């Protein structure tokens, strides 16, 4: 795991007071008691007992519990595979709900809490019911481009390539490249370069210097960033 990676499991009690924030990692919420009303980027939903949702990095969400409050099992994580799960989980996944209840019970018992915290994140991802890998038509596997873009924005310091994007999307590099051309109208690397440049443009508009922006977005030098901006007519 990268030194700056996050992988934290917790039990949280939500009251009726409204909250609102965004964070730079995925947040997985699974309802254990009560109902948590949550609105993610303007899309409202309720997380009841046995229901779940993933909030993607950067998505602002407003939340507050109904009635007597809500208890959720919450996973904060930067692990890339959660990008493919950044939607509400199906309501008929008993293994996910049973696992969440079991982990919550373990976390309340000192002799079992450490193991639950260590192994719980991986078990939850496995239980999330990803699409079968044997599907003959890969077009049925939806790519969440917004979540994928958020994942990439957190990793400009790494040498990202098509294979990295494909792994997050659970596709082969060739399948991902084809889907990118069809759905985004450009090659995978051009799409990635466009994201990087758009982020750099945002930082410059926020007042960061060229040197600071280059460091934040992974350009090898301020002059390389300046050249890229000029090529795009910025």
DSSP output for 63-84: EEE-TT-EEEEEEEE--GGGGG
Percent of the chain with pLDDT over 90: 17
Under the banding of pLDDT at 50, 70 and 90, the label for residue 70 is very high
What pLDDT does 10 receive? 94
Longest Cα–Cα distance of the chain, Å, equals 61
Residue owning tokens 């409204």 = 18
Separation of alpha carbons 140 and 35, rounded Å: 32
Please state the separation of Cα 183 from the chain's center in Å.
20
What pLDDT does 12 receive? 94
Separation of alpha carbons 157 and 175, rounded Å: 25
Averaged pLDDT, 17-35 = 90
All structural domains of the chain: 7-128 (2.60.120.10), 145-231 (1.10.10.60)
What pLDDT does 125 receive? 84
Residue owning tokens 């990803």 = 130
């Amino acid at each position: 795991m990268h030194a700056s990676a996050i992988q934290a499991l917790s039990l949280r009690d939500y009251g009726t007071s409204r909250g609102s924030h965004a964070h730079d990692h995925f947040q997985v919420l699974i309802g254990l008691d009560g109902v948590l009303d949550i609105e993610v980027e303007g899309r409202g939903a309720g997380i009841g007992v046995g229901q779940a949702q993933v909030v993607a990095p950067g998505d602002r969400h407003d939340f507050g519990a109904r009635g007597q409050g809500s208890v959720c099992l919450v996973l904060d994580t930067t692990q890339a595979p959660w990008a493919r799960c950044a939607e509400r989980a199906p309501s008929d996944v008993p293994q996910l709900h049973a696992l969440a209840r079991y982990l919550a019970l373990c976390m309340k018992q000192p002799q079992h809490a450490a193991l639950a915290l260590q192994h719980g994140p991986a078990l939850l991802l496995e239980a999330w019911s990803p699409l079968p890998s044997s599907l003959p038509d890969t077009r049925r596997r939806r790519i969440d481009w917004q979540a994928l873009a958020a994942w990439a924005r957190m990793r400009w310091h790494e040498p990202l390539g098509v294979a990295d994007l494909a792994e997050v999307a659970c596709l082969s590099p060739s399948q991902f490249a084809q889907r990118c051309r069809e759905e985004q109208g450009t090659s995978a690397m051009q799409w990635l370069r466009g994201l990087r440049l758009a982020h750099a443009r945002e930082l410059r508009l926020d007042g960061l210097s060229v040197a600071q922006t280059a460091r934040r977005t992974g350009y090898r030098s301020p002059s390389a960033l300046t050249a890229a901006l000029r090529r795009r007519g910025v």
